[in-house]
Structure 1
Amino acid sequence: MTTTYSLHKITHPGHFGFCPDDYSRFKFGDDAVAEKFGTSLAEGFIEHHLKGQEVPQFVVVSSPYSFIPTATFAMKNYFVFHLNRWLAAHGHPVLQETKVHRTITYKEDYGELDAEQRLKLIGNDSFHIDRQFLTGKKVIFLDDIKITGGHERMILKMVDAYDLSNDVYLLYYAELQNKSIHPNIENHLNYHFVKSIFHLEKIIQGEHFFINTRIVKYILNYDFDSFCIFLQNQTDKFVNLLYNMALGNGYHTIEVYQKNLNFIKNYLFNRKHKSIQHGN
């Protein structure tokens, strides 16, 4: 059995049911918004699918990633925290978690593409999951937004390939239900607050920041001169984190990222060299 649930249904290009600026900040690492989104999604799921029911062992799976987590991963954390409190209070087993591994990373901005382009882009990707761990459990696949259903089709393709017999829930914070709206509405949401690299500073330098794939790719792909100015305004802690995440996802092998990555590498080397010179 496959069940789909979305908290917000988008039927009009100007009305979303949530704040577009919040969504944009969430996509670029604002963990406070991730908490708000994850908590409200858990509340909706409890109300519509769990209240008054016998609740079995659930396993939660965030959207697929390789090394750097997605924005959805941060939302998943708070979904789990809130739902576990309800499950424990009502004598149900708390959630378990596992991961869908993916094999391909791409430089394209998924939110800009139409349905055909999206399917073509991710069609060569492959997803992998621990089938044995899922035996006898219901599985919740969590994602932030459903636009064309391309990622959902890849998830269900994996379910078929692994011959999973589990009941599956596909959960989204929001879903585009009006198919007359172009899929690039996702890009409108993604960049509603983040208009340039310098808008990231309020997120990165705030109290609640959680690095994710989107922000790393965005920074590495940015205009070099602006990127250099931006980077020199950041803490060493953030620059090191950015570099480590980029290497972990293999971004040093992608040509369009190499110029900015080499600048980060040299920047960190020079900072370390100066620190040694001054006896720190």
Structure 2
Amino acid sequence: MIPYSYSLHKIHHPKEFGFDADDYSRFKFGDGLVAQQFGRELATGFIRDFLENDDITEQIVVISSPYCFIPTATFAMKDYFVYQLNHWLAEQGKPVVQEAKVHRTITYKEDYGALSAEDRMKLIGNDSFHIDKDFLKGKTLFFLDDIKITGSHERMILKMVREYGLKNDIFMLYFAELANPDIHPNIENFLNYHCVKSVFDLDNIIEDGYFRFNTRIVKYILNCEFNSFVTFLERQDKDFISSLYNLSLGNSYHEIESYAKNFNFLKNYLNNKNYKLI
């Protein structure tokens, strides 16, 4: 089984990406409007470059990047990719997309984007991925991710595919791909944090009306310096604080020692807010 790989943007130069680096950074920290743009662009490009010339007759299943409880940034992009692809499929008289999830058990808290290819595989190699094999039988699978840097995530997906004995046609779809091996993989962190230098840079993303929580922003907030965390939290509304707490619990971040001080303050802050409201 050899998967077909497609990326809308191929990065050959460390300062030229084919997309706006600030937009990408905002996307990674929950900007739903940029996710909408990226998802539509990826679908349009893939339809133009592949689907218009290839007759896929099987039911298509779109699968976003693996996650535990809190979705990744790719999940928001996936929604708009599916919407755009469904428009085209319906016009062609073909079945619209189904979706599935890769369940992921995560074993680390480190910032993946700063690591080398070797260190990435060491880190991610301990994670476990799970999917509903029976649901996928006889269907064409589109595994969606925002960026391919070293291919470690892709190797883990294909390892899962082999372990489950999946015989499906498989497509690995990316918004962008690092195509120049001479560029260090930490370019991913350069892009991730291009417009987010501190927790306070999140305010305009959260307040723009399109914000969507993801794993990166939750971890980033819980991991920031304590005094900054307190100040940041006091500037947020109750719904945001409740969501931050509930999502943190869902991903078991209350069990991570390096998050403990901020998490406990968050818990007490939320309880005190509720007490005052009562």
**Normalized against structure 1, the TM-score is what?**
0.97
Distance 1:242 1:249, change over 3 A: same
Matches within 5 A, 1:112-131: 112-131=114-133
Give 1:194's aligned residue: 196
Unaligned runs of 5+ in 1: none
Question: Is the CA contact 1:221–1:260 (under 8 Å) kept in the aligned structure 2?
Answer: yes
Give CA deviations for 1:148-169 in whole Å, capped at 9, x if unaligned. Answer: 0000000000011011100100
Q: Which letter maps to 1:228?
A: V
Offset at 1:105?
Answer: 4.5
Runs of 4+ in structure 1 displaced over 2 angstroms?
A: 52-56
Amino acid at match of 1:262: N
- Letter of the 1:80 counterpart: V
Distance 1:208 1:273, change over 3 A: same
Cα deviation digits, residues 29-80 of structure 1 (max 9, x gap): 0000000000000001101111143232110000000000000000000000
Contact 1:6 1:175 in 2 (8 A): yes
**For 1:155-200, what per-residue CA distance to the aligned partner results, in whole angstroms no more than 9, with x for missing partners?**
0000110111001000000000100000000000000011110000
Letter in 2 for 1:35: Q
Alignment RMSD: 0.8
* Structure 1 residue aligned with 2:90: 88
> C-alpha separation between the residues in 2 aligned to 1:28 and 1:266?
25
Residue 103 of structure 2 is aligned to residue 109 of structure 1 = no
**1:38 matched residue in structure 2:** 39
Residues 149 and 178 in structure 2, CA contact (< 8 A), matched pair in contact too: yes
Distance in 1 (CA, whole Å) between partners of 2:275 and 2:53 is 63
Identify which range, 206-215 or 98-107, moves more after superposition: 98-107
- The answer to whether the Cα contact below 8 Å between 1:55 and 1:92 also exists between their aligned partners in 2 is no
Match of 1:255 in 2: 257
Name stretches of at least 5 consecutive residues in structure 2 with no aligned partner.
Answer: none
| 2:274 equivalent to 1:272 | yes
Q: Distance in 2 between matches of 1:104 and 1:212?
A: 15
Query: Which deviates more, 30-39 or 105-114?
Result: 105-114
Same amino acid, percent of matched pairs: 65
Residues matched between the structures, number: 276
Q: CA deviation at 1:15?
A: 0.2
2:28 matched to which residue of 1? 27
Letter in structure 2 aligned against 1:104 = I
Give the counterpart letter for 1:9 in structure 2: K
Aligned twin of 2:52: 51
